[in-house]
Structure 1
Amino acid sequence: MSMRIVKTIALCLAALALPASGQSPRASVPAAPIAPAGATTPADTPARSTGGAQLTATDVDSWLDGLMPYGIESGGIAGAVVVVVKDGKVLTQRGFGKADVKTGKRVDPAATLFRPGSVSKLFTWTAVMQQVQAGKLDLDKDVNAYLDFTIPPAYGKPITLRNLMTHTSGFEETAKYLITTKPEDNRPLDAVLKRWVPHRIYAPGSTASYSNYGASLAGYLVERVSGEKFDDYVQRHILAPLGMRHSSFAQPLPPALAAGLARGYDVASGEPQKFEIIPMSPAGALSSTGADMAQFMIAHLAQGGPLLSPQTAALMHATANTPIPGLPGMALGFYHEDRNGLNIVGHGGDTNWFHSDLHLYLDKNVGLFVSFNSSGKAGAAHTLRGKLFESFTDRYFPQPAPELPTLATAAEHGRLLVGHYVSSRGSLTNWLRIATLLGEATVVLNDDNTITVSALTDAAGAPKRWREVAPWQWQEVGGDDRLGALVKDGKVVALAPKGIAAIILFLPAAASLNAGWIVPTLLAALAVMLLTALSWPIVALVRRRYGYRPSIAGRPLMLHRATRLTAWIAVIVAGGWMTMLAVLGSNLAALDGRLDIWMRLLQLLTLVAVAGTALTLWNTWTMARSPDRKRLATGWTVLVAISAVYLVWLAFSLRTMTPGLNF
């Protein structure tokens, strides 16, 4: 499997959740009035901050004109919307590129709807906090108290709303029916959640692990205690009070809104894609214009505006969990993105085709929203949206970064970090464990005592280098990114860069999931099986060509053929699972049940391979005891048997043989 496919798989497993950046602490939120939709501040009104460029409509527009058109054109991105709010008003809202490439329809920030993916969760969390404020939900109560089905017990601890809002519920990742294009898959929220409760792989409150299921469960709690369907609740209690008339969680969209929806693309030159349906709607089903998203930002910047009381808004924006000391903290639903000494909260979101970010500068009463309707070449939208956030912050709120010396402990601590790490956001109890294995990150200590983390690369795809500037804190060499580690009893138990530390951690890989030895051994075993499989027809053709008739017959011949057949099955099964992952990497909409029959077929073939492995071991025993055995042939047969046993173990270890079809 190529590294490109592995990276694509990792990206898809993070769909609806890719953050641009994130950090920690917070302070009070300044009050500001709610402005009507479309209101703007005069272009010559300066920002209240000092230093850097003045935050005016004129300057922002000029800056965006120098960044966005080139970025979307060179990146192969169809279109984008960017909105900036300040002091309770819209400072500027801009559309770039095309909403529909074929018709040439341009992006209109007031009328073109985008799909902001997991930014939708902020509406879900806001709804939750409304019900907390009303006394109908308790952040620290067992969620089973509100449900009409049961989250099975695990780890001796209940899951609470606080766990759900900080992504510490312990649920493993879900992929099936995450995104679909079939309207019939858009079932009621309760049916979606009851179809399958994901396994809990961490104790509640112990590990940051982003969960779409957890967010959707929170949305269902709102539905349960309010007596209103989730989509209706958001419409009546969030969208309508803010005047967000061009926004909806409905799927498909009502005709009046559907006409304004931007088409989604992989790249601008590609074909437009079908409307994406998110069955777990509270996790990412929103469709909205840039102008409407401005009103949502203004409300939160105004200490909750008409949605929440100032006390509830302050609680929601405050740090509730800090997975890595000194790095990003998680608020209740928002994650912190603090930069340049500022208190910033936000959220990112991705579907297959739309990619978005929302940032609230709480200290400055400023908000920034961006959304793209295509990934672009080599994921250019992800690079551009990150650049937009960093450049905006540095331009209008600059802060010189101190030059910190490298610590004397760099080599010692670097050595303790060396190894293989898996993402905390992944699947461990089903076949997607394969993706967890192949997506591992490796940490290497360099000769100059800097470290390199394979999964953390720059815009050019080159691994970043990091030097230790504080105990268990590393600074990007030549950049301003930060990496931190959590250490207990002298052992590294987690590490993460500041951009994702609030919601996803890198955890040391267990021996049974360590790609450092599993992958090389797997490749060696497959090479043995492939050579064995190919030798069968090749030898047969050679024998036929020269009229040679081997003396082997009877049971030895049967065992010989069973060994070759087992080799073929092993190669086919391995290729089948790699194909399944490639399909997952190309389009999450394929995970709508259409792969079930192929999954069952691969499992059936694996069972045949198990029986074949037993025959292979029998064949090895028979050859080893034969008086006229040949050393080379016997040695190869032993190698084949070992390879077969290893592949059978790996099939079960990677959970490809689960009785259920949920993942």
Structure 2
Amino acid sequence: MFAHSKKLLAAGLTALLSLIALPLMAQGPDALQPAQPKAAPAEAASAALPPTTGQPSGGAQIEAQDLNVWLDGFMPYALARGDIAGAVVVVVKDGQIVTQRGFGYSDVAARKPVDPATTMFRPGSVSKLFAWTAVMQMVEQGKIDLDADVNKYLDFKIPPRDGKPITMRNIMTHTPGFEERFRNLIVDKWEVRPVGEMLKKWVPHRIYAPGSTPAYSNYATALAGYVVERVSGVPFDDYIQRNIFDRLGMAHSTVRQPLPAALQPFMSKGYALASGEPKPYELVTLAPAGSGAASGVDMARFMIAHLNQGGALMKPETARLMHDYRQEVIPGLNRHALGFWEQKINGRTTIGHGGDTAWFHSYLWLFPNENVGMFMSINSSGKDGVSGPLRTALIEGFADRYFPEPKPAPVALSTAREHARMMTGTYTGSRRPSSSFFDFMNLMGQVKISVNDKGELQVPAVTNLAGEPRKWVEVEPFVWESMDGNERIGGKVENGKVVRWTFSSFGPIMVFDRTPWYRSSSWLMPVLIVSMVIVLLTALSWPVGAIARRRYGATLALQGTDRKRYRLLRAAAWLVVLVPVGWMLLLSGGLEGGGGLTAMFLLLQILGAIGFVGLFALALWNAWRVLKSDSGWFAKLWSVLLAVAGFFILWVALFFHLIGLATEF
């Protein structure tokens, strides 16, 4: 999930886009693609593992030949269409690797094919499953209590919220209530520092009571890794190596940073596009949240252990506690287990985890009841956000082929229309920044739900594989299912009103709450746009007026205090116009950087505060002076409009934390 943070900041702030990056299907004409080598042959699993059992009725048998034919028809086209360099897919069942497939290249220039056994990919936040497994090992040993105050295990303090401390159970279900952290999460160059030092540098603001609201948190996961380090007495990367990788024979896996020299020959390069240049090895500053690198076959070993009731990693009862715990967020939608999150596909329950760095995109799915698991990873972002649709299409195609299930019957039409009407409104995501200037993203990224003239639910933010809004059918009270897939939307009703909603892919880790009226983009955005136009025209009147007077030999009629007021007001207007431009220019290059970048952040916040407050104060003074004068009606009207514009710009600046001195966010 890291790419959501880094890429969203660089691109999202420049374009003032939403906090939530929803995937779009690759579109447009085919580009020239590197030739794709044949998939690496499947290898038999260890003979010591139990044989594959029968397949539930209704779908194809999960066997190597059928899987390979299906994957060979799907993956090469998907990679070529999306301008993706390489991928790995492994499928396990009943303790065996059914197939392990490498597609494309780990190094395009060297034409080095992906080897599923040895080529290492960055699984991003799938690496969190290593940290969660380590936590459960500590729980099994009695060294961590899931429901104790986490401060018990720390050498610094996490403040309570609403009088309640956070617990490890909160952390493992992403409900500690932290705001999102962005800066320097993934970097290209970094002096590796202990995770404890990074955690103590800045504790994110708490925006929810613990246990109440899912809000995905890399900081919280790193906190869990630090707890493992402290209670075990072993550095986190050493602990994972000894107690997970070595136990399972994962010889091509690590969470160490930088990448150990012995593993560097096996590491796939990462790409924005396969047709572009390779990117530097990414470094995760909050290492336990996503520093891993692993081969497909090693991830198969990890899946087999979890499917085998913990295998060599933990006792069966510990594995059941980890897998079977279900924290409900919205009735009828996916829930969160301990570390894993639930994804229902074709009526079957899976648990898994997704992961993204800037260049690698991965997903791990386990079907516990069927004893089946799948892991996939690609080494390129690809065109038009293709990584998300590719993963969705792969798992849904797999489920449709091997675990087909009829669609549920719809709710009565009249009831569905009324429920859809109750869902309408403007909502803000729970995974968000809140205490810094990045709060402005929450104005730009609010999600609107409406109904069409047929009374059908309209949620433009949740799109299908083609990037188009989905069509929804209500299948349970306040639960809608997409007509073209397994995606679901659900609303939570309190006192006869829908207060929050989410969709099944994000449900366990993020919800959308109704936006308070004073922060709602439904009226603030139009007002803000009009206000900025008024301020821009006022700012332009200064140089335009000066040019006109010079051309025609005229002089500014104002004298003394009025002339000073004229110039100060327009100087403040220019400041209000130019500060957002400065933000966009500064952030368009990402958020990596040290003291120099921090100084620029502080400077822009100081200039913004002067501009926002100064414009409103000067506009009020100007309106008072103009209204008392014998100026014409237009000058009087404009002075009032400018004062109103200054008021609403200051409103946004105050309610969205554009005035402050934040350097950590």
What TM-score do you get using the length of structure 2 for normalisation? 0.92
Residues 550 and 593 of structure 1, relative CA distance in 2, 3 Å threshold? closer
Residue correspondence of structure 1 range 74-85 to structure 2 within 5 A: 74-85=81-92
Q: Percent identity?
A: 48
Residue correspondence of structure 1 range 81-100 to structure 2 within 5 A: 81-100=88-107
Describe the SS at the equivalent of 2:651.
Answer: helix
Contact kept, 8 Å, 1:176 with 1:593, in 2: the verdict is no
2:626 is equivalent to residue 623 of structure 1: yes
Quick one: which of 368, 371, 374 aligns to 1:365?
Answer: 371
Per-residue deviation, 1:37: 9.7
2:309 is equivalent to residue 303 of structure 1: yes
Per-residue deviation, 1:351: 0.7
C-alpha distance in structure 1 between counterparts of 2:52 and 2:473, whole Å: 42
C-alpha distance in structure 1 between counterparts of 2:589 and 2:319, whole Å: 42
The aligned length equals 638
C-alpha distance in structure 1 between counterparts of 2:127 and 2:15, whole Å: 23
Letter in 1 for 2:139: V
Deviates more, 1:240-249 or 1:600-609: 600-609
Partner of 2:515: 509
2:596 is equivalent to residue 606 of structure 1: no
C-alpha distance in structure 2 between counterparts of 1:187 and 1:313, whole Å: 32
Contact kept, 8 Å, 1:264 with 1:374, in 2: the verdict is yes
Quick one: which of 209, 216, 220 aligns to 1:203?
Answer: 209
Partner of 2:109: 102
Letter in 2 for 1:222: V
Residues 103 and 205 of structure 1, relative CA distance in 2, 3 Å threshold? same
2:652 is equivalent to residue 645 of structure 1: no
C-alpha distance in structure 1 between counterparts of 2:411 and 2:430, whole Å: 31
C-alpha distance in structure 2 between counterparts of 1:657 and 1:412, whole Å: 42
Partner of 1:127: 134
Residues 11 and 631 of structure 1, relative CA distance in 2, 3 Å threshold? closer
Letter in 1 for 2:575: I
C-alpha distance in structure 2 between counterparts of 1:619 and 1:410, whole Å: 54
2:336 is equivalent to residue 334 of structure 1: no
C-alpha distance in structure 2 between counterparts of 1:593 and 1:453, whole Å: 42
Residues 302 and 147 of structure 1, relative CA distance in 2, 3 Å threshold? same
Describe the SS at the equivalent of 1:464.
Answer: coil
Deviates more, 1:574-583 or 1:313-322: 574-583
Quick one: which of 70, 78, 100 aligns to 1:71?
Answer: 78
Describe the SS at the equivalent of 2:432.
Answer: coil
Per-residue deviation, 1:496: 1.0
Residues 172 and 215 of structure 1, relative CA distance in 2, 3 Å threshold? same
Per-residue deviation, 1:45: 6.2
Residue correspondence of structure 1 range 166-565 to structure 2 within 5 A: 166-184=173-191, 186-565=192-571
Describe the SS at the equivalent of 2:147.
Answer: coil
Partner of 1:25: none
Letter in 1 for 2:437: W
Per-residue deviation, 1:406: 3.9
Contact kept, 8 Å, 2:18 with 2:441, in 1: the verdict is no
Contact kept, 8 Å, 1:410 with 1:468, in 2: the verdict is yes
Contact kept, 8 Å, 1:46 with 1:54, in 2: the verdict is no
C-alpha distance in structure 2 between counterparts of 1:520 and 1:303, whole Å: 55
Deviates more, 1:379-388 or 1:452-461: 452-461
Partner of 1:29: none
Give unmatched runs, 5+ long, in structure 2.
Answer: 1-7, 26-42
Letter in 1 for 2:272: D
Residues 140 and 379 of structure 1, relative CA distance in 2, 3 Å threshold? same
Partner of 1:31: none
Contact kept, 8 Å, 1:6 with 1:439, in 2: the verdict is no
Residues 40 and 623 of structure 1, relative CA distance in 2, 3 Å threshold? farther
C-alpha distance in structure 1 between counterparts of 2:541 and 2:84, whole Å: 49
C-alpha distance in structure 2 between counterparts of 1:591 and 1:68, whole Å: 38
Quick one: which of 149, 153, 166 aligns to 1:159?
Answer: 166
Query: Deviations along 1:70-112, whole A, 9 cap, x unmatched?
Result: 0000111111100111111111111111111222111111111
Give unmatched runs, 5+ long, in structure 1.
Answer: 21-35
C-alpha distance in structure 2 between counterparts of 1:14 and 1:360, whole Å: 25
Per-residue deviation, 1:59: 0.6
Residues 611 and 12 of structure 1, relative CA distance in 2, 3 Å threshold? closer
Per-residue deviation, 1:14: 6.5
